[in-house]
Structure 1
Amino acid sequence: MREHRQFHDGERAVQRRAGEEAIADHRIGLIHDSVIGGARPFIAAQFMVALGSVDPAGRVWASILFGKPGFAHTQDGSVIEIDIPASRRDVDDPLWGNIQANKPLGILFIELGSRRRYRVNGLVSRLDDERIWISVREAFPNCPKYIQRRHLRSLDAPDGISQSVTGSTLCGTVEDIVRSADTFFLASHHVADGADVSHRGGDRGFIHVVDKGTLRFPDYPGNSLYNTLGNLQVDPRAGICIPDFVNGRLLQLTGTASLEWDQIDPGDESGGTRRFVTFTVGGWILRDAMPKAAWEYGDSSPFNPPVVP
């Protein structure tokens, strides 16, 4: 265990305001400075990995990589290798340019079918034409709440070739993807602690389009560590990646996020926290980048609060 792991000022500020500082102190023991032995087979079994990175301009992006089980693996837990040959890297994904300019990388291994997830933050120590090496800074499990179960029945290997469009306005297909989402990944960054990426889920429609440049979603009760919100407390730059499971597209948005406290919530959309996050869009990329796959939707999380139109 990382004995010297301490919460930074942003995490502490959010924990304190939420009244969960003591709970966070109790759970800090979950955070290790390497991947624990029991989580290593889980990592090797995954075909989908979410990542958070920072571009040369300081903007934060969330991405998703796909591969056959075993494409991500770790031998001793101190270094994770992700095998993605250059021929299968989508040049339209900001990730590849980002990790050449900035080494911090947040990783989330998630298995939608079992609602299991494991989070790793670290630094890119090496990148060549075959794989990425990430030196682990901290690693810890996350609870299964708010994950919608989906089972993968078949998966074609991604070929690195996709079509993409860019913009900054939430309209048309982009707006439809946002409104219909029940799953997305939220990336953030802290100047000392590096990049991070987390899962957010809810019933379809839990992300609200406020206007053509703004979306808003509730912040549900979680593990009380407040890694993501703590980062946003001190650096509002954030990235969102929404997978469109039906049409095989990935929507990546970059912008800034702010946490709203003590909101009026008569429909209990926040699950009792009365917290919401407002995301201001700086730009987006829409790519048909998900490999051909047959997804079977299982069910929504029983913990999902209601969605109010």
Structure 2
Amino acid sequence: MTSKTPFHEGERAIQQRAGESAVADRNVTLVSDTVIGGARPFIAKQFMVVLGSVDASGDVWASALFGQPGFIHTTDGRAIQIDVPEGSRDPVDPLWTNIASGRDLGMLFIELGSRRRYRVNGTVSRIDGNGIDVSIREAYPNCPKYIQRRHLRALGASEEPAQAAYGTVLRGNVTQLIQQADTLFVATHHVETGADASHRGGGAGFIQIVDEQTLRIPDYHGNSLFNTLGNLQADSRAGLYIPDFANGQSLQLTGTATVEWDQADPDRVTGGTGRFWVFHVAKWILRDAIPRAEWEYLDASPFNPPVAS
């Protein structure tokens, strides 16, 4: 970061390459170092938060936590409290070994049913047997584009330990989950601005499987801040979280990602940007991650570009 811009060098480089620096400068006024008053009740009523964290080796992971409304809250807008007792934490999720006091944590609060989302990045200031406090570095709303509407009809406690599988190549049930997905979450990190968690969505099949260790994701028009791609410009390590709403599973992947520019796109699967980002898989975890959750699919985003046939 410099005194002349609120963006780090990676974000600025991507904005300039995309020709969207002026738009980014206008939209950055939405970014604050506190959660605005109107967003505080929105956060408190959520039953899901997506988190971005970094492990001891520097690999980035995306995770999701679930709880009854009120398990996440903020009183003054300067810190977020996440109440997750130690006994209810998923030992399979790398999140719980990644975070400690002073570590970066990215948070995305997303309400699929209303297509509302709010992004908060900060630093863990407390973690104990009751939960986590996160001191806020930056917070801002995101637009509702590309979110498929779903309603969570029921969320119950797990009666059995989550079953987990691990791997490094994309085969079998893993590829099937990816091919059917219309939603993913991506975590990235920057040494100065910390961890970040973001949403990506599209029609089922918008995530392309190139080979057993490579995914290709179209990059649509967004808010022009380019937080995710900007972070990747500076540090290519990234994590994905892909939920399987129908079968109550989730896929977490960690690896690296690179951006492809000015690609041929005759079917306009990028929505006209000509951009893709390619994710190279290092390892993955597949597990039962949304136990006893009953989701009702409502409709797809009207902004979704077509999916490659």
Q: TM-score range by the shorter chain?
A: over 0.9
Distance in 1 separating the partners of 2:178 and 2:132: 30
Deviations 1:84-112 (A, max 9, x none): 00111011100000003861000000000
Contact 2:174 2:251 in 1 (8 A): yes
| Code of the aligned partner of 1:72 | I
Deviations 1:105-145 (A, max 9, x none): 00000000000000000000000011110000000000000
Deviations 1:23-52 (A, max 9, x none): 000111100001000000000010010000
Corresponding residue number in structure 1 for 2:18: 18
Cα 1:193–1:240 change in 2 (3 A) is same
Cα 1:102–1:252 change in 2 (3 A) is farther
Distance in 2 separating the partners of 1:127 and 1:4: 35
Distance in 2 separating the partners of 1:239 and 1:171: 18
Alignment partner of 1:35 is 2:29: no
Cα 1:70–1:170 change in 2 (3 A) is same
How many Å apart are 1:187 and its aligned residue? 0.3
Distance in 2 separating the partners of 1:12 and 1:160: 47
Contact 1:63 1:95 in 2 (8 A): yes
Distance in 2 separating the partners of 1:185 and 1:159: 27
| Code of the aligned partner of 1:241 | Y
Deviations 1:66-89 (A, max 9, x none): 000110000000010001001110
Contact 1:15 1:21 in 2 (8 A): yes
Instruction: Say which SS state the counterpart of residue 118 (structure 2) adopts.
Output: strand
| Code of the aligned partner of 2:206 | F
Corresponding residue number in structure 2 for 1:9: 9
Cα 1:101–1:239 change in 2 (3 A) is farther
Corresponding residue number in structure 2 for 1:94: 94
Relative to the length of structure 2, the TM-score reads: 0.97
Cα 1:151–1:232 change in 2 (3 A) is same
| Code of the aligned partner of 1:137 | R
Instruction: Say which SS state the counterpart of residue 33 (structure 2) adopts.
Output: coil
How many Å apart are 1:291 and its aligned residue? 2.4
Contact 1:24 1:224 in 2 (8 A): yes
How many Å apart are 1:154 and its aligned residue? 1.2
Instruction: Say which SS state the counterpart of residue 125 (structure 1) adopts.
Output: strand
How many Å apart are 1:308 and its aligned residue? 1.1
| Code of the aligned partner of 1:256 | T
Corresponding residue number in structure 2 for 1:266: 266
Count matched residues: 307
Distance in 1 separating the partners of 2:62 and 2:96: 12
Corresponding residue number in structure 1 for 2:236: 236
Distance in 1 separating the partners of 2:125 and 2:84: 15
For 1:101-140, list aligned pairs within 5 A.
Answer: 103-140=103-140
Distance in 2 separating the partners of 1:218 and 1:101: 36
Alignment partner of 1:291 is 2:291: yes
Corresponding residue number in structure 1 for 2:275: 275
Distance in 1 separating the partners of 2:186 and 2:161: 24
| Code of the aligned partner of 1:192 | E
Sequence identity (%)? 64
**Any gaps of 5 or more consecutive residues in structure 1?**
none
Q: Which moved more, 1:32-41 or 1:5-14?
A: 5-14
Distance in 1 separating the partners of 2:298 and 2:146: 13
Cα 1:118–1:103 change in 2 (3 A) is same
Distance in 1 separating the partners of 2:292 and 2:88: 14
Distance in 2 separating the partners of 1:20 and 1:123: 29
How many Å apart are 1:4 and its aligned residue? 8.7
Distance in 1 separating the partners of 2:288 and 2:277: 27
**Any gaps of 5 or more consecutive residues in structure 2?**
none
Contact 1:67 1:157 in 2 (8 A): no
Distance in 1 separating the partners of 2:87 and 2:265: 48
Contact 1:88 1:161 in 2 (8 A): no
Distance in 2 separating the partners of 1:157 and 1:83: 15
Relative to the length of structure 1, the TM-score reads: 0.97
Cα 1:198–1:53 change in 2 (3 A) is same
| Code of the aligned partner of 2:144 | P
Corresponding residue number in structure 1 for 2:212: 212
Distance in 2 separating the partners of 1:44 and 1:160: 28
Corresponding residue number in structure 2 for 1:248: 248
